[in-house]
Amino acid sequence: MDHFLYRDGQLHAEDVPVADIVAAVGTPLYIYSTATLTRHYRVFDEALSGLPHLIAYAVKANGNLAVLKTLGDLGAGMDVVSEGEFRRALAAGVPGGRVVFSGVGKTAEEIAFALAHNVRQLNVESFEELELVSQVAVAENRSAPVALRVNPDVDAKTHAKIATGKSENKFGIPIARAREAYARAKALPGIEVIGVDVHIGSQLTDLAPFESAFEKVAELTRLLREDGHDIRRIDLGGGLGIPYRQANEAPPLPFDYGALVKRTVGDLGCEIEIEPGRLIAGNAGILVGRVVYRKQGEGRVFLVLDAAMNDLVRPAMYDAWHDIVPVREPAPGVERAEVDVVGPVCESGDTFARARPLPPLEAGDLVAFRSAGAYGAVMSSEYNGRRLVPEVLVNGDQFAVVRARPSFDEMIARDTIPSWTA
């Protein structure tokens, strides 16, 4: 569910007409809904009721400070994968005690920063990282709270670029070596073993892979306790998918996911951590662009937008589908025709959709890409000398620019020309 609906013939973001926001901010731009963010967080929270738990929002999905502050004020923790994301969480008012630091390549400097800010836990992904965490903790005279991320070799049946739980993926410690890893952790100075971590991938639309992974984690937890480890937290990662095709996709609901969690690991007496990102932020955002040209090609029509792959890379990178809708509501029964929706970047890959049936659209018309709140603005770039897209947060009948569009001068001023070229 989201809060981007037609009203009086115009697409609204909550109670604000999208066209009004465009008039004030320009295009392309991202628009986020506070009501949708809030609802999705609370749905997850309710799904895990009865279990001690922390919902650690995955900052990588959308790291805008206003989004983080909105969720942090609801009680969310943050799942971060870099010092930069950790600093964003702190800047949004989320204390280190609610921050889980994940990621396969943490540096010594990042580990020291996390420990200095009382990180809730470090999700350690390798024997080598475990040794480094110990060295840093000893040097900083601190104790590092650690959960080891195990790779359960479960096929998440998702896109290859966002699968993380198979043996050939770079993430985690092979589950067959988990007891060895925990034994090593227990022997190292500066390490406090507190839990088990698993994450098998993103945009999962079936609960079966989760069930397989969680059952393996439950079995491992029991074995580790027999080995004398005080396992009191289980981090189950994120990955629950969202309906990108509103008409025919129906991923599992958070309620069903919560029931699965309770059935597989709920009897272990552990605090449960989950790290949703896409499911909280994805349907809470849209990207709005304007048609620049309606171009007649050889046997096909192109809608050339002012939005491009540098603004929303998912279709180019993952062959991802986003529903594309006019900001002005089409008349009932209007005839649709197939068009290719493309951007202005000098790449054939700058294509959002091919042969997409859409109502008549002409130069100047506004279109919205639905379900663009996750892995949209956060993955954007300045490729082709294009400015980063502004972000707007709506709350009821109010809206605010929460990241401004930089000027060309600001963009260019970040570069410097060395003195020897003068």
DSSP 190-236: TEEEEEEE---BSSB--SHHHHHHHHHHHHHHHHHHHTT----EEE-
Domains, the chain: 4-31+282-413 (2.40.37.10), 103-274 (3.20.20.10)
pLDDT at position 248: 62
Taking alpha carbons only, the member of 283, 284, 275 closest to residue 81 is 275
Would you state the pLDDT for residue 158?
Answer: 45
pLDDT score for 161: 43
pTM of the entire predicted model: 0.94
Peptide bond into 28 cis (omega under 30): yes
Handedness of CA 220, 43, 85, 283 (dihedral sign): positive
d(CA 23, CA 11): 14
Q: For residue 85, give the H/E element and its range.
A: helix 83-91
pLDDT of residue 250: 74
Q: Which contacts (CB < 8 Å, 24+ apart) does range 132-137 have?
A: 132/106, 132/108, 133/190, 133/191, 134/188, 134/189, 134/190, 134/191, 135/108, 135/190, 136/108, 136/111, 136/112, 136/190, 137/111, 137/189, 137/190, 137/191
Q: Measured on CA atoms in the order 81, 86, 88, 93, is the torsion positive or negative?
A: positive
Give the CA count within 13 Å in the CB-facing half-sphere of 388: 17
Catalytic residues: 346
Q: Which residue has the tokens 């921050």?
A: 99
Contact 217, 168 (CB under 8 A): no
Angle, CA 314 vertex, CA 308 and CA 315 arms, to 5°: 70
Q: What is each CA distance from 164 to 102, 161, 179, 378, in whole angstroms?
A: 13, 8, 21, 20
User: Which of 382-419 are b and which e, b meaning 16 or more Cβ less than 10 Å from the residue's Cβ?
Assistant: eeeebbbbbbbbbbeeebeebbebeeeeeeeeeeeeee
Q: Which two tokens stand for residue 232?
A: 């009191």
Taking the chain, what is the end-to-end CA distance rounded to the nearest angstrom? Answer: 57
CA–CA separation, 274 vs 254, rounded Å? 11
pLDDT tens-digit profile, the chain (422 residues) = 689 999 999 999 999 999 999 999 999 999 999 999 999 999 999 999 999 999 999 999 999 999 999 999 999 999 999 999 999 999 999 999 999 999 999 999 999 999 999 999 999 999 999 999 999 999 999 999 999 999 987 754 544 444 444 445 556 899 999 999 999 999 999 999 999 999 887 788 888 888 999 999 999 999 999 999 999 999 999 888 888 876 566 778 899 999 999 999 999 999 999 999 999 999 999 999 999 999 998 889 999 999 999 999 999 999 999 999 999 999 999 999 999 999 999 999 999 999 999 999 999 999 999 999 999 999 999 999 999 999 999 999 999 999 999 999 999 999 999 999 97
Task: Find residue 109's DSSP bridge partners.
Answer: none
pLDDT score for 168: 54
